[in-house]
Amino acid sequence: MKKQIVLIVMIIFFLISCNSDDFDIDVSDIEIELNIKRLDKDIFKFNKDSADYYISKFQSDYGEFYNIYNYKIIAIGGSNSRRYSDSLYYFLKYCNDAKIKETVSEKFSNISLLKEQLTSLFKHYKYYFPEKNIPNIYTCISGFNQSVVTSDSIIGISLDKYLGYNNKCYSNLPFYNYQKRRMTAEMIPVDVVEAWTKSEFIYQSDSDNMLDNMLYDGKIRYIIDCMLPELPDTIKWRYTEKQLHWANQNESNIWNYLTGKKLLFSTKPSEITKYVGEGPFTVPLSKKSAPKAAVFVAYKIVKSYMKNNPEVSLKMLMNENDARIILAKSKYNPD
């Protein structure tokens, strides 16, 4: 009987700790082996005169990620294509001529800090999802394409998308200022969590309305808090200090606006995107507003839901696809 009581107390403590405002849990005893392979370095060893040798070596060393890299990241087709070696040669020549290789090599000559951050991230991931496997991580140069690519047990990180706001490589590229502000090395862990979580817990909705969309992203934001508790909110939200202040000060105003305009159950994609899509701000509100304002409120709803329902695990949260249940049980009241 005593053992049962102790076990119950331990379970309750565990559930409460998972749902407390303090996301900084102890993961020091969790052992994981994080493997980061650097295609961004190895790919430049390619010599067209020995193309068959290098292509075979890349296939052997990088396996499925090499196929993903060719088809989905730099889009030059399969390595068995007749034109493949020429296409790879000219892509690498462009990276050299545009100083991309040089800049990435200098910026990421040492990735020990990145490995430390990702190791901590996936220790937290293992804490909350012990049944899940740790993915293999690859770094690459994409020619400024996707920042993070995921597949089954694979995460690919394009280091050329994280060179820093004022980097000369971005000066003649069609990136907005708000996008370049997020293209820094400190954003990599956040982008990794978001991309990996979205691949593991795919968006599902029968109605596909505003509430469904905003709460799905709100759950992703909550997971980012759980996986990266040490990061400042400005990084986790990709906000400036002013935007974060605005969001915190206007939480009730955002909620009242959404409910007052009867937007929660809107199914118009163009309308939904205004409130949950990327941008420098939330267009219908004001130019001073934070972007994705509806997601900020949704995160607060999710946080309230987890606090008021301590029996709900993170896995249960992510598998709950009825946004109305989360809203109702959250007892959310920003006023």
Whether residue 93 sits in one domain with residue 49: yes
Closest CA to 25 of 222, 230, 221: 230
Residue 31 lies in a domain: no
Give the mean model confidence (pLDDT) for residues 304-330: 97
Strand partners, 36: 137
pLDDT at 259 over 60: yes
Closest CA to 21 of 249, 299, 277, 213: 299
Whether residue 168 sits in one domain with residue 44: yes
The total number of structural domains that make up the chain: 2
Whether residue 53 sits in one domain with residue 189: yes
Residue 25 lies in a domain: no
Residue 225 lies in a domain: yes
- pLDDT number for residue 241: 97
Whether residue 162 sits in one domain with residue 125: yes
Higher pLDDT, 172 or 76: 76
Residue 232's domain spans which residues?
A: 210-330
Residue 20 lies in a domain: no
Report the alpha-carbon distance of residue 301 to residue 328 in Å, rounded.
10
Whether residue 214 sits in one domain with residue 86: no
Q: Which amino acid is at 198?
A: K
pLDDT at 19 over 70: no
Q: Which amino acid is at 16?
A: I
Q: Which of residues 145, 165, 200 is at a domain's end?
A: 200
Residue 9 lies in a domain: no
64 φ, ψ (degrees, to nearest 5): -60, -35
Sign of CA pseudo-dihedral 283, 289, 291, 295? negative
Give the mean model confidence (pLDDT) for residues 101-127: 97
Q: Which of residues 200, 218, 234 is at a domain's end?
A: 200
Say if residues 218 and 295 touch (Cβ distance below 8 Å).
yes
Report the alpha-carbon distance of residue 280 to residue 16 in Å, rounded.
36
DSSP for 146-157, written as a single string: -SEEEETTEEEE
Whether residue 218 sits in one domain with residue 128: no
Residue 149 lies in a domain: yes
Q: How confident is the model at residue 4 (pLDDT cuts 50, 70, 90)?
A: low
- pLDDT number for residue 9: 38
Whether residue 246 sits in one domain with residue 175: no
Whether residue 304 sits in one domain with residue 157: no
Q: What is the pLDDT of residues 270-279, one digit of tens each?
A: 999 999 999 9
The percent of residues above 90 in pLDDT, for the chain, comes to 91
